[in-house]
Each structure stands twice: as C-alpha cells, then as structure tokens.
Amino acid sequence: MSLVGLSSRVTRKSRSNFYYAFLALPRARREALYAVYAFCRTVDDIADLGTDPTAQRAGLAAWRRDIARCYEDGAQPEHAIARQLAAAVRRFGLPRTALEAIVEGCEMDLQRATYETFDELAPYCYRVASAVGLCCIEIFGYTDPRAREYAVSLGMALQLTNIIRDVGADARNGRIYVPQEDLRAFGVSPDDLKAGRHGDDFVRLMAFQAARAREHYARAWAALPAADARSLVPAEIMGRIYWALLEEIEARRFRVFDERVTLSAARKATIALRCWMNGLLRRVA
C-alpha cells in the first residue's frame, strides 16, 4: 500500500467528522491532511490503546524523533506515516512546535487522569486540538495572521465538544476531563460519571461545559478573517459539524451515557455542502 493510501485508509477507517472537510480539496492538500490526521490518530492510539506505560512513552519518543527527521535535510523518518508527514512539512511548512505539541498532549494522558480547573485543562486542549488546527491552516492556506487565533479557538471548541460527548466513556477508562472544581460546584462525583448517572445535577454540569464550548466557537468565528474565508472552508466544515453535534447533545439533554451521540452521514454531507457553497460565494454561513 502506498503512503498516501495508508494515511487515507486510517482517515476513512476512523469515520472522522474531519473526513468531510477533506473530500473537495485539491489532491496535494488532501494528501497532506490525510498525513496530519493519520499522525494524530496514530499517536493518540499509543496513549489510548496501550497498556504498558513504558512502551507507550517509548512509542511517543519514537514519534518525537521522527518529527525531528521531518525537518532535517536528508533524514528519512522511520514510520510510514511519518514519511508522508515529512512531505507535507516540506510542501506546506507545517510548524514543528505544533506537531511536537500534539505528541505532548498525548503524553499528558499517560501522566494524569484529572484536572482541577479549566486553566489546568486548557493546555491539554491546546495540544491535542488547537495544535492540529495550526497545522491544518498551513495546508488550507491563509493570508491574515488572525487565522491562527481562529484555529486555536476552534480547536478548543472542538475538544470541549468531544469531552462532553465522551464524558462517560472517558470516566470508565479512568480519565475525567471535566474540571474537578466544576464537578464539586454542581454536586456530581467522578463515580457518578463512571456509573452513567443522568440527573438534573449532571445536566446542569454539562450545560455549563457546553456554554464554555460555545464561547470558544464564538471566539473562533469572530476571529475568522474575511479575506481567508474561502480557503478556510475545510476548517469551517469541521467547526459547523461539531457545532451541530453540540446542539444535538444539548437537544438530548446530555444523554451521552447510553450511546455515543453522532450525526448521520447525510447531515454531515449537507453541512459540508453548505459550507462549500458559502465559500464559493466568499461568505461564511
């Protein structure tokens, strides 16, 4: 299988919301995004699916070395996905600090399972989501530096949406991303999350988390530069799909314990098409 085939297979297999943002891109940009996404998926799986912390840390360290090779003239990364990532680095100038931050974020999952405050959680969200956005906008292309602020805020919003959706599954896996001070403020215990207890206190807690996510969506859309609205349409597809996902979760009163809330393929495709049409008209939905 070719390197491109490997990365695109990883993307399709994950059934990611991001896949809908990739489809209509020119081939070179699409292949670079496949590489970035496959890299993110691979390093995340090291932290999430492994059972030996020593081996997991070694796996992440190996990725750090491969990232370094992506920026060294004449160096050849060892991992097949890293070799495609190196091609994306050369063509689109992906920031090394962002790629390294993604690995650091995954490593945080090996170091801690809870966060006392949102201020403690925010660096994690930046590393596992905003840093991805900073790589993506280099591939999409932009002219206004405010696009970086947009990417950071949108990444935060997407990650906070993920935390809300997966709060039960994460708790059962021993990780609680909802800040501990918020749990105490709303009278919800870690055991409540692990047991999937859905009550009024939990709904109020999740509404508070959703309001925080909405603030970051608002910051992102306020920062979206008009001059780059068309080139950043793929990012908008990601954002609008996750915004719709958040609305769906809210409409279900945060019933996220029994099954993972998702959007249908048809709904995602409709959102993507709307964003592309708005992009062609050089405006944002």
Can you say how many angstroms the Cα of residue 252 is from the centroid of all Cα atoms in its chain? 23
Q: Please provide the DSSP assignment of 181-221 as one string.
A: HHHHHHT--HHHHHHT--SHHHHHHHHHHHHHHHHHHHHHH
The pTM assigned to this predicted structure is 0.91
Residue 146 has pLDDT above 90, yes or no: yes
- pLDDT score of 65: 98
**CB of 223 within 8 A of CB of 149?**
yes
More confident of the two residues 10 and 92: 92
pLDDT tens per residue across span 30-41? 999 999 999 999
Write down all domains in the chain, each with its CATH number in brackets.
Answer: 1-94 (no CATH), 112-285 (1.10.600.10)
Neighbouring CB atoms inside 10 A of 12's CB total 12
Residue 16 has pLDDT above 80, yes or no: no
pLDDT tens per residue across span 247-265? 999 999 999 999 999 999 9
Extract the tokens encoding 84: 């495609």
Residue 47 has pLDDT above 60, yes or no: yes
What is the DSSP secondary structure assignment for residue 226, as one 8-state letter? G
More confident of the two residues 31 and 18: 31
Residue 9 has pLDDT above 90, yes or no: no
- pLDDT score of 256: 97
